[in-house]
Amino acid sequence: MKKILFLIILFAVLYFGFVYLTRQPSGITKDIEWGVAFSKPFAIDMGLNWKKAYLAILDELKPKSLRLPVYWRDIQPNEDENVFDDYDWMINEAGKRNVKLILAIGRKSPRWPECNEPKWTDGLDKEAVDERVLNYIEKTVLKYKNIPNLYLWQVENEPFLVFGECPKLEVDFLDKEISLVRKLDPNHKIMITDSGELSVWVRAAKRADVFGTTMYKIVWNKYTGYFKYPLPPKFFWLKANIVRLFYPQKPIIVSELQAEPWGPKMIYETPLEDQFKSMDFAQFNDNIKYARDVGFSEAYLWGVEWWYWLKTKQNHPEFWDYAKTLF
């Protein structure tokens, strides 16, 4: 009898715990503020005139916010050189149009191979590389902390996810990077990001003023080939509620919503028909609907360079034209 009573109580606790954790979290909305991410190196890899593509994004799509990786290899192509010209131009053009910016900094940055070290760091020991990462971060924060359209700093990209051609994360060094940014610029908040599907979020959220999750639906890996995550929107509510148990007022946004293909090769190495295996127009719409159903207040679409390439080089303007309706 005691055993049966224990099992009933255990079931009740698990049931009501699940109901509690999958309830709608605070801050859920259907009125999402959509943004995009733009990568200058990726635009070049796609064979685009990156400046023309960037201006088309600003003037045709008209996003109100933009996530912009400031790549270490671009800023310090040589050890004793700091080259901000291209980023000055992008930031200035966004400022002219009152587009607010998330500037992503750190060794691990959005876009493969994730860790975008300058070539001159090859052969340096770990301590020397760490010192130079902090130098690049300091130079970048001091350069841009006073721009009027700065919204957030993103420090590193999904630092707790093992992905990309990167060394193993050292949490102490991540904390040192975050502390440096806070010291140099106490007036702007810091976003830390993590995988929506593969991480628990708590370690990243602990360090963040704003937590950013990725959101992917169809991916590819060498073990399964193409794989579609069978996750309902409440999966993200569950994780948000777990974070809120520890950090009740933590803002949560979608820092990276899949809106481009994911396959065994880079997009620019993949035939168009294979690109559409993981991201055709129907899937593009489904991903946007999914983000709406989750309902976090902001979502930054990942793939705007690809939409522009489709429109200008492949006679597929439908992705670009639909995106216009979001902003």
* Domain architecture of the chain: domains with CATH: 2-324 (3.20.20.80)
Is residue 277 within 8 A of residue 11, CB to CB? The reply is no
d(CA 114, CA 220): 17
The residue behind tokens 């691990």 is 108
Q: How far apart, in Å, are the Cα atoms of 142 and each of 147, 167, 175, 302? A: 10, 27, 19, 27
β partners of residue 226: 220
Is residue 114 within 8 A of residue 166, CB to CB? The reply is yes
Q: Residue 21: its pLDDT value, please?
A: 59
Is residue 316 within 8 A of residue 308, CB to CB? The reply is no
Q: Residue 9: its pLDDT value, please?
A: 46
Greatest C-alpha distance within the chain = 76
Q: Of 101, 129, 102, 125, nearest to 115 (Cα)?
A: 129
Q: Residue 23: its pLDDT value, please?
A: 75
Strands 225-228 and 218-221 come out as antiparallel
Is residue 104 within 8 A of residue 157, CB to CB? The reply is yes
Q: What are the residue ranges in the chain where pLDDT is below 50?
A: 5-17, 19
DSSP per-residue letters across 137-192: HHHHHHHHTT-TTEEEEEESSSTTS--SS-PPP-HHHHHHHHHHHHHH-TTSEEEE
Report which residue type is found at 321: D
d(CA 100, CA 94): 7
Q: Residue 16: its pLDDT value, please?
A: 38
| Backbone torsions φ then ψ of 221, nearest 5 degrees | -145, 165
Q: Of 320, 303, 217, nearest to 268 (Cα)?
A: 303
Q: Residue 5: its pLDDT value, please?
A: 45
Q: Residue 209: its pLDDT value, please?
A: 98
Per-residue pLDDT of 46-95, as tens digits, reads 999 999 999 999 999 999 999 999 999 999 999 989 999 999 999 999 99
With 0-12 / 13-18 / 19 or more C-beta atoms within 10 angstroms meaning exposed / middle / buried, residue 7 is exposed
Query: Taken in order 144, 116, 239, 63, is the CA torsion positive or negative?
Result: positive
Strands 65-69 and 33-37 come out as parallel
Q: Residue 3: its pLDDT value, please?
A: 59
Q: Residue 283: its pLDDT value, please?
A: 98
